[in-house]
Structure 1
């Protein structure tokens, strides 16, 4: 096989001489006992060489060098604006020592057989694409660094939300930006108590309007912003607390009795809803022997007398309104003390009427 390899690499007349010499050594007769003319001999030699070369192209292995494949990891790293990143370039040739980096920012390089790495700090270029290469005969490989700015969402709530009135919750991301060539999308969602109130896609602002209820006071509102960047999802959350206010309402006054006798003990209670908690005051027939408790919600009349007969009015107020409710108490002693007098008067009138009628009849 060596003679055929040599035939490929040597000039034509050398190859023919070698082949002829090889033939003599092997006891093979030369091409022709009677050499043809020189021009015919040249054509025959050329044709023979072409056939030999064609045969060798199928038999001999390809001796061209195999290129070394390069790759960069991570691919399209996601880095915050002004952040840092480390890139690794590896070669499929384990002993490759010709790897180099090229970029618009200088970085710290480390290198060994078959690989090289570079670290970049304070990256601010929105089209930052470092490349790795070996020599000038092979195409370089590059990666685009996905740079981003992404501020936390903000929740805006009205300062005075009144129960029974419409109010609006606003959530927005004030600033965000990504590399122009980076695939991206931004989503927002508002939720409370695990329930989604509203959501949006492709917008950095979101609003939700509803009628406020007093039971919603103190409810936590969450706004979640999701930035899909390349193959990753960046998420940030903001929380706010709903404050719902209401004037006094559902005011009621109740008493342990509706009528009483002298010396009785009477308890009267006033109830009202509101936020902030309402304040209580009373307008009473008499304040004698009256005790106040439970932040003036309850009054107790010790040893009630006739002077305590009448209307008990509860006055309720807070920052957002005022109202009242009332209750009447009837003193039994006061109402029944007239019964004997009325009976006597009626009997007297009957007696006088009867006596008058009797007198007229006798006449």
Structure 2
């Protein structure tokens, strides 16, 4: 089988309780940030008689006084263990509050091989640095239909890497459909329900040409016209070739995946076998039919052939 790797996302969840007696309010109290994107969280208080307020953090930390609000801002968030703390200092009582912060990476799909009809292909959804793992579920879709779902029982609280495997055996009918991996981190009532999907993987299934259709034996009169039509379905689209007695009144043309052989003003020389072959990199098929030409010129051809044979014998 050919492994298809879907590199999903890196995710770290940091959620903390809120002290309802602390005169601080966050906006937003929880935030989901794409890796490398900017983030801003506002911390506000309704008390004016304080000694100062601000933020403690490896990035964006600051302390100011005589204000009722302070913003924590990072131009590009890339620290997985970032835990900014808003503090309130007072000679009566101080307190802190920490926002819920979820950092995730974007999703991409990579393919290491072609999808072939009837051959099992392995899709892998890799989740990197996710916590807590027991809150993670992975769902696989073909189009809008769920084809596989997986949950995890590991109670580890630290970020870990986890993979979900989908074993998929495509048919030619699957060509044109899509495969998607969706990861969901359900953090319960105190946290956001984070759901991230991969880009759609466009399914292209390669298979040999089907049996040739629309090509049948023909019986015509001398001087008439006839079209022989040869069609087959395959991926890649089949190419056609014909085998027959070549004459100047026969033309071949291909259009929209169909090959046509056109006999104009038929003569006795156009009678005989015609073989159409449809081929692609996965295989080939062929079909042979007979064209019968009725009329006086049939006798002329027979006499001509007999004369030629007599001359060769002499």
TM-score, normalised to structure 2's length? 0.68
Higher strand fraction (1 or 2): 2
> Quick one: distance in 1 between partners of 2:144 and 2:46?
47
Matches within 5 A, 1:233-272: 233-239=193-199, 240-252=201-213, 254-255=215-216, 258-272=218-232
Q: Which structure 2 segments of 5+ residues have no match?
A: 1-20, 153-160, 300-314
Partner of residue 211 from structure 1, selected from 141, 145, 169: 169
- Structure 1 position 147, deviation (Å): 3.5
Matching of residues 1-363 of structure 1 within 5 Å: 70-74=22-26, 77-78=30-31, 80=33, 83-91=39-47, 96-101=48-53, 104-105=56-57, 106-107=61-62, 109=64, 111-112=66-67, 116-122=68-74, 124=79, 126-135=82-91, 137-138=92-93, 140-173=94-127, 175-177=128-130, 185-202=135-152, 204-229=162-187, 230-239=190-199, 240-252=201-213, 254-255=215-216, 258-295=218-255, 297-333=259-295
Hey, which of these two has a bigger chunk of helix by percent? 1
Separation of aligned partners in 1, 2:144 and 2:65: 49
RMSD of aligned alpha carbons: 3.3
Measure the CA separation in 2 of the matches of 1:298 and 1:317: 16
How many angstroms apart in 1 are the aligned matches of 2:262 and 2:62?
Answer: 84
Could you list the runs of 5+ residues in structure 1 that have no partner in the other structure?
A: 1-68, 338-363
Higher Cα Rg: structure 1 or 2?
A: 1
Separation (CA, whole Å) in 2 of partners of 1:216 and 1:156: 19
Moved more, 272-281 or 201-210: 201-210
Alignment length (residue pairs): 256
Distance 1:86 1:197, change over 3 A: same
Maintained 8 Å contact 2:109/2:198: yes
